[in-house]
């Protein structure tokens, strides 16, 4: 044979072992080689998967396989049948393959396919057509699901004789073999019996199932049509004795129907996955998801526990803070009160003098009245004038006392809307009322007449009074013309400022830095608390207190800035 000859490869499903296959098919190969001297024909004996991958990789040009496998390869790789085996003249190629379910002859308890429920069954493999799939179709038409209703489905693999061995050894209750295998075995067949036996007309063997077309030979997509025709013609014209006979391709519709019923091969897509199927297929994933969910749940519980714990801790901390704040507020109010009392203390040395004046006037008028009574010179006019003066002086004394009482009262802070001008006027009155020789205080009001702020009027008054007193202290030793003070009111963005200016010696930079610190004082009898309390009051209102030297002239300007809304 010419070495350059083109090699044509035929893949064959080895169904009774490789050696048997060679002896079965070699006459056919010889026949084909003889028909074309320029081609060399080669046989590849493969199992199901081997044959499938040979087709996928185009390592073969033709395929000879069982009808079920053919239907699968046809759907997947587009192979097309060109011939169907015609095994013997007595069998029609359309009705050539059936399966026999065999049991040991002594198993009288097993007669029909229905008796297989709960029994074990040996098969070649799930891909076996005559070796399993045909029987699967029969069982399923009787409502038996091999996976669910048999006690075991055992694959013993090729060759098929292994199934008979398993049945004979009683490893299994029954086994599936291709019909006619038993008949070809001679005396050994006497050990077995076929379940639900049928002997269809024009079929020489006993079968448990209906019959399907014989094995096809198919050309692959890449195989040239000319080569396919040549091979078909060579095999169709073969005479007896030159290998298996071939006929024109049979109709494989019945195989398609079987596969559609079983939802396998090209019809696998029909198999709607049930929840159990999914669970079976994806159980590792499901397990993973469940584990994730479980750890998620545990984590959530853990986090909730932590949140609970932290919330409780936070609540306790807040409660503690509130208690502390309440304490600080109380201390602040007390310091406020003390500061007012201390201011009064400082100023009240002169208070006695201030009250002395109206009391002395009242005393004088009373004495003058009694003198006139004694002299007999008491007339109506004198009585009217004396009582009028007495009333006026008594009112003046009462007003001084009531302002001091109001100022010295212990109270809690509050917020109300009021006119700053009024509070400033009251502060000046209180300041002047408490001093024997009060300096002049000029009120410079740049605010609109109806301008109001929201604050605690008494606290603002306290600040102003403190600033006036400090200004007075700073300038009391100055010549008379520098003792006058100024209290001003100016509008600023979103609020107002109230300022007090004196013409005293002022403060240097270093002193200004410590001015608002508690206990900073330069006075021998000073407490050094006034300005620090004033600053706290300003800040509690959302405002501030600053000390600056005036742009021109001596002294200091203390400015209290207040927002419209505290
Ligand atoms: P005290 O009046 O008890 O000393 P303050 O806090 O009211 O406490 O004042 C602290 C210090 O600030 C005063 O001792 C004084 O030295 C200084 N001071 C306050 N106001 C003025 C001012 N107008 N001019 C100069 N020094 C001032």
Domain boundary among 135, 165, 194: 194
* pLDDT class of 1 with cuts at 50, 70, 90: very low
Is there a domain that residue 199 lies in?
A: no
- The residue with greater pLDDT, 448 or 35, is 448
Cα-to-centroid distance, 330 and ligand 1 (Å): 25
Is there a domain that residue 1 lies in?
A: no
Alpha carbon nearest to ligand 1 atom 8, residue: 528
Asked if residues 28 and 41 have their Cβ atoms less than 8 Å apart, the reply is no
What would the two tokens of residue 265 be? Answer: 């091969």
Is pLDDT at 2 greater than 50 in this prediction? no
Give the domain CATH number at 456: 3.30.565.10
- The residue with greater pLDDT, 365 or 216, is 216
Which helix (H) or strand (E) segment holds residue 409: the answer is none
- pTM value? 0.47
Among 85-89, 220-224, 303-307, 488-492, the range scoring the smallest mean pLDDT is 85-89
Is there a domain that residue 209 lies in?
A: no
Q: Please report, rounded to a whole number, the percentage of residues in the chain having pLDDT higher than 90.
A: 52
Shared domain check, 404 and 440: no
- The residue with greater pLDDT, 159 or 311, is 311
* pLDDT class of 138 with cuts at 50, 70, 90: very high
Alpha carbon nearest to ligand 1 atom 20, residue: 470
Is pLDDT at 482 greater than 60 in this prediction? yes
Is there a domain that residue 207 lies in?
A: no
Give the domain CATH number at 394: 1.10.287.130
Q: Which residue has the tokens 């007339």?
A: 379
Is there a domain that residue 208 lies in?
A: no
The structural domain count of the chain equals 4
Of 86, 92, 167, 154, which is closest to residue 123 (Cα–Cα)? 154
What would the two tokens of residue 24 be? Answer: 């079965």
Shared domain check, 558 and 525: yes
Shared domain check, 285 and 241: no
State the DSSP string of 134-171. Answer: HHHHHHHHTT--HHHHSSEEEE--SSTHHHHHHHHTTS
* pLDDT class of 14 with cuts at 50, 70, 90: confident
Which helix (H) or strand (E) segment holds residue 452: the answer is none
Is pLDDT at 154 greater than 90 in this prediction? yes
Shared domain check, 218 and 73: yes
State the DSSP string of 350-386. Answer: HHHHHHHHHHHHHHHHHHHHHHHHHHT---HHHHHHH
Is there a domain that residue 181 lies in?
A: yes
Shared domain check, 518 and 389: no
Is pLDDT at 22 greater than 70 in this prediction? no
Domain that holds residue 169: 99-194
- Predicted confidence (pLDDT) per residue in 53-102, tens digit: 999 999 999 999 999 999 999 999 999 999 998 876 667 888 889 999 99
Cα-to-centroid distance, 101 and ligand 1 (Å): 119
Domain boundary among 411, 445, 473: 411
State the average pLDDT for the chain: 87
- Measured from CB, residues less than 6 Å from any atom of ligand 1 are 466, 470-471, 474, 502, 504, 507, 515, 520-523, 526-532, 556
Is there a domain that residue 267 lies in?
A: no
Shared domain check, 472 and 342: no
Alpha carbon nearest to ligand 1 atom 19, residue: 470
Shared domain check, 425 and 407: no
* pLDDT class of 16 with cuts at 50, 70, 90: low
Is pLDDT at 18 greater than 80 in this prediction? no
Shared domain check, 219 and 76: yes
* pLDDT class of 327 with cuts at 50, 70, 90: confident
Shared domain check, 112 and 39: no
- Predicted confidence (pLDDT) per residue in 491-529, tens digit: 998 899 999 999 999 999 999 999 998 889 998 878 788
Shared domain check, 398 and 424: no
Cα-to-centroid distance, 95 and ligand 1 (Å): 124
Domain boundary among 381, 411, 441: 411
Q: Which residue has the tokens 């409780």?
A: 312
Is pLDDT at 3 greater than 80 in this prediction? no
Q: How far is CA 308 from CA 12, 314, 442, in A?
A: 73, 10, 62
How far apart are alpha carbons 441 and 12 in whole angstroms?
125
Shared domain check, 434 and 395: no
Shared domain check, 552 and 489: yes
Ligand 1 atom with least separation from CA of 502: 23
């Amino acid at each position: 044979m010419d070495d350059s000859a083109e090699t044509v490869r035929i893949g064959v499903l080895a169904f009774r072992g490789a050696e048997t296959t060679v002896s079965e098919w070699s006459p056919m190969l010889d026949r084909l080689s003889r028909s074309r001297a320029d081609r060399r024909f080669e046989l590849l004996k493969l199992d199901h998967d081997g044959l499938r991958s040979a087709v996928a990789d185009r390592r073969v040009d033709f395929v000879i396989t069982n009808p079920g496998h053919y239907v699968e390869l046809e759907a997947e790789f587009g192979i097309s049948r060109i011939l169907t085996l015609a095994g013997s003249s007595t069998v029609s190629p359309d009705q050539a393959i059936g399966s026999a379910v065999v049991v040991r002859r002594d198993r009288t308890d097993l007669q029909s396919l229905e008796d297989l429920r709960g029994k074990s069954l040996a098969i070649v493999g799930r891909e076996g057509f005559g070796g399993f799939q045909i029987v699967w179709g029969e069982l399923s038409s009787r409502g038996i699901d091999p996976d669910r209703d048999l006690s075991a489905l055992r694959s013993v693999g090729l060759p098929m004789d292994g199934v008979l061995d398993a049945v004979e050894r009683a490893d299994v209750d029954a086994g599936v073999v291709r019909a006619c295998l038993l008949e070809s075995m001679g005396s050994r067949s006497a050990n077995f019996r076929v379940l639900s036996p049928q002997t269809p007309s024009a079929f020489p063997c006993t079968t448990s199932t209906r019959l399907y077309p014989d094995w096809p030979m198919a050309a692959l997509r890449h195989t040239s049509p000319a080569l396919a025709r040549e091979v078909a013609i060579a095999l169709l014209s073969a005479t007896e004795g030159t290998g298996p006979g071939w006929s024109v391709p049979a109709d494989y519709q019945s195989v398609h129907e079987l596969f559609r019923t079983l939802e396998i091969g090209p019809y696998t897509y029909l198999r709607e996955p049930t929840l159990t199927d999914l669970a079976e297929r994806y159980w590792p994933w499901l397990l993973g998801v469940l584990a994730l969910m479980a750890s998620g749940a545990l984590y959530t519980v853990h986090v909730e526990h932590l949140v609970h714990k932290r919330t409780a801790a936070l609540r306790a901390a807040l409660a503690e803070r509130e208690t502390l704040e309440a304490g600080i507020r109380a201390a602040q109010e007390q310091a406020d009160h003390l500061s007012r009392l201390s201011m009064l203390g400082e100023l009240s040395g002169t208070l006695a003098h201030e009250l002395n004046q109206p009391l002395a006037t009242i005393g004088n008028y009373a004495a003058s009245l009694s003198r006139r009574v004694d002299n007999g010179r008491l007339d109506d006019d004198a009585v009217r004038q004396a009582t009028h003066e007495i009333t006026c002086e008594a009112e003046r004394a009462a007003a001084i006392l009531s302002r001091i009482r109001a100022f010295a009262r212990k109270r809690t802070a509050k917020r109300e809307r009021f006119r700053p001008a009024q509070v400033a006027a009251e502060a000046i009155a209180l300041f002047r009322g408490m001093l024997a020789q009060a300096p002049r205080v000029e009120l410079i009001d740049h605010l609109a007449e109806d301008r109001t702020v929201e604050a605690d009027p008494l606290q603002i008054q306290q600040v102003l009074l403190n600033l006036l007193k400090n200004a007075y202290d700073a300038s009391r030793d100055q010549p008379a013309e520098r003792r006058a003070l100024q209290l001003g009111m100016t509008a600023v963005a979103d609020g107002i400022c109230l300022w007090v200016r004196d013409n005293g010696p002022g403060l240097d930079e270093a002193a200004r830095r410590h001015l608002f610190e508690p206990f900073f004082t330069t006075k021998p009898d000073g407490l050094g608390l006034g300005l620090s309390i004033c600053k706290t009051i300003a800040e509690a209102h959302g405002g501030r207190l600053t000390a600056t030297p005036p742009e021109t002239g001596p002294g200091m300007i203390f400015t209290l800035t207040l927002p419209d809304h505290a």
